[in-house]
Amino acid sequence: MDIDVWPIVGRARLVQTFRPGESPLREAPFRTLRRHRWSTVGVKVVTRNADRASGRFTIFSVLNVEAARCAREGRGTRAVALAKAASRIERGEAFSRLKALLSGRSAKEVSAAVDGDVSERKWSELHDVLRLVARETRAVRARNQDPRDIRAVIAGAISEAQPEFLVLEAGPDLQTYVPRWLAHSAGRERVGDLLALVTDKLDDNQMVVSAVPAIGTGVTTPTFTPFGRAAPVGGLTAADARLLSHEPAPLRVLVPITIER
């Protein structure tokens, strides 16, 4: 099953990406994003408390995070394109179902849903809808690829938990050690939890690694085939390297012969 980053975010995540190190509660960075069309307006959800409206919570497609990253790097045109793609997702059927599902919930419940702090066992319907949003996001991202985008993501399931670190299993022979405090910030530190590590380049000698919740999209990764230009080759695993390090078997060519009697 494919695993991808949690497909929705709150406004604070956009501000943190656009202005790393600044308070995520600042209004000015978000206003700058909106003024230049580097972000969508998001989808507003009315929260309720004891049968009374208690406020509004704005939810964004995670593509807005990538748009904010491009804006920070000075790639305004690309940021606008990603924000437009995010807007299409937010106007889609899956996002409409998400809004309907969250509307009327308490602010605490909506915030937990946006932050990925809710288990599938407790709220399976939410996860089903978010899987649809994640698939839409992946499809839109695939159609809007840009080789200049620097976004390395390691997503997988936690396979081992130690007091100081966790082991993130992202595929066969691909394990990553994650400081426990980093996974704790994403609310994912138990064995079986889905977690993603997203790298973000600041300049040529600095980067930031963010731990964010992940979700299983329910789509199985296609079996590898070496035929065709679209063969899904992304790198060699340790098992691949061991196999390729062996001596190749001699080539045998069978030639038919005719025996006359």
Contact 8/130 with Cβ under 8 angstroms? yes
Using the predicted structure, report yes or no on whether residue 114 has a pLDDT greater than 90.
yes
Using the predicted structure, report yes or no on whether residue 14 has a pLDDT greater than 90.
yes
d(CA 89, CA 234): 27
pLDDT band, residue 224 (cuts 50/70/90): very low
pLDDT, average across residues 36-59:
88
User: Nearest-CA neighbor of 195 among 208, 178, 181?
Assistant: 178
- The pLDDT value recorded for residue 244 is 64
pLDDT digits (tens, 9 = 90+) for 189-207: 999 999 999 888 777 788 8
pLDDT at site 2: 86
Q: Which residue has the higher pLDDT, 241 or 35?
A: 35
168-184 per-position pLDDT tens digit: 998 877 889 999 999 99
Per-residue pLDDT of 144-170, as tens digits, reads: 777 777 667 889 999 999 989 999 998
Residue 121 has pLDDT above 90, yes or no: no
Higher-pLDDT residue of 237, 45: 45
Please name every residue paired with 60 in a beta bridge, in sequence order, or none if there are none. 9
**Which residues are CB-contacts of 254 (< 8 A; sequence separation ≥ 6)?**
none
Mean pLDDT of 2-15: 93
Which pLDDT belongs to residue 242?
Answer: 62
Per-residue pLDDT of 54-109, as tens digits, reads 788 999 999 999 999 999 989 999 999 999 999 999 999 999 999 999 998 998 99
Q: Which pLDDT does position 236 carry in this prediction?
A: 52
Mean pLDDT estimate for the chain: 85
Please tell me the predicted confidence (pLDDT) of residue 246: 67
Question: What is the percent of the chain where pLDDT is above 90?
Answer: 51
pTM for the full model?
0.77
Contact 18, 28 (CB under 8 A): no
pLDDT number for residue 232: 47
Which among 158, 150, 123, 129 is positioned nearest to 218, based on CA atoms?
129
